[in-house]
Amino acid sequence: MSAEPIPESWRAVLEPVLATPEARRLGGWLSAEEAAGKTVYPARGQRLAALDLTPRENVRAVILGQDPYHGPGQAHGLAFSVPEGVKLPPSLRNIYRELAADCGGTPPESGSLVHWAKQGVLLLNNSLTVEAANAGSHAGKGWDAITDAVVAAVARSDTPTAFILWGSHAQGKAARIPELTDDGSHLVLRSPHPSPLSAHRGFFGSKPFGKVNAFLEAHGRGTIDWCGKARA
């Protein structure tokens, strides 16, 4: 983790966790994997991009992913997002399909969700790295404690925030955070994952984007321009 500067607004949340033996083992294990010639996505310097682009005080919504895309050129540190010019992955295509049905208008052609992150949407994967062509390969290696701490810090805040939990993995992660409840202080939306395997089981028609905007507006937090032009 030494090559990943901690964004200032998240420093108080992460420094205690990063000082633990588990986090140090994670750093050593990642270095050993790369030294052995394995390709790890995203590249060093991008692994905390979600935290860098969405300061703690700006978080208005949280979308939880499982782990980064494991194909070349796809992962850049934001859950479900790909860089400008990269072909849309199937899950993101389904997210855009639901976005168009929910909010109207035309979704961005770009798969970059940087414009969401800059508006306060924390696009956080549970594991922040993955081995090339090996989905889920870095699960259980120590990222959970770090990303749990981030989610818990947002959940403990008195500032009304929307949590969008797509699929059993995201919902299971949220279940580990005692403060993340449906008591009205936060909005917690649960639905199946947008992947082609499950999107037709209730993701389509769930209308999360409009619900989030209605909640944020009701609490004086403005709205998110979900369909705005993507900017790298």
The string of DSSP letters for 114-168 reads HHHHTTTEEEEESSS-EETTBTTTTTTSSHHHHHHHHHHHHHH-SS--EEEEEHH
Q: How far apart are CA 172 and CA 165, in angstroms?
A: 9
Instruction: Output the pLDDT for position 1.
Output: 57
Q: How far apart are CA 63 and CA 186, in angstroms?
A: 13
Confirm if 68 and 169 have CB atoms less than 8 A apart. Answer: no
Every domain of the chain and the residues it spans = 8-219
Is the pLDDT score of 207 beyond 50?
yes
Q: How far apart are CA 3 and CA 11, in angstroms?
A: 15
Instruction: Output the pLDDT for position 178.
Output: 83
- Rounded average pLDDT over 30-50: 97
Q: How confident is the model at residue 107 (pLDDT cuts 50, 70, 90)?
A: confident
- CATH entry, 8-219, from 3.40.1280.10, 3.20.80.10, 3.40.470.10, 3.40.50.720: 3.40.470.10
Q: Is 225 considered catalytic here?
A: no
Active-site residue, from 52, 67, 102, 183: 67
- Rounded average pLDDT over 201-209: 98
Give this prediction's pTM: 0.96
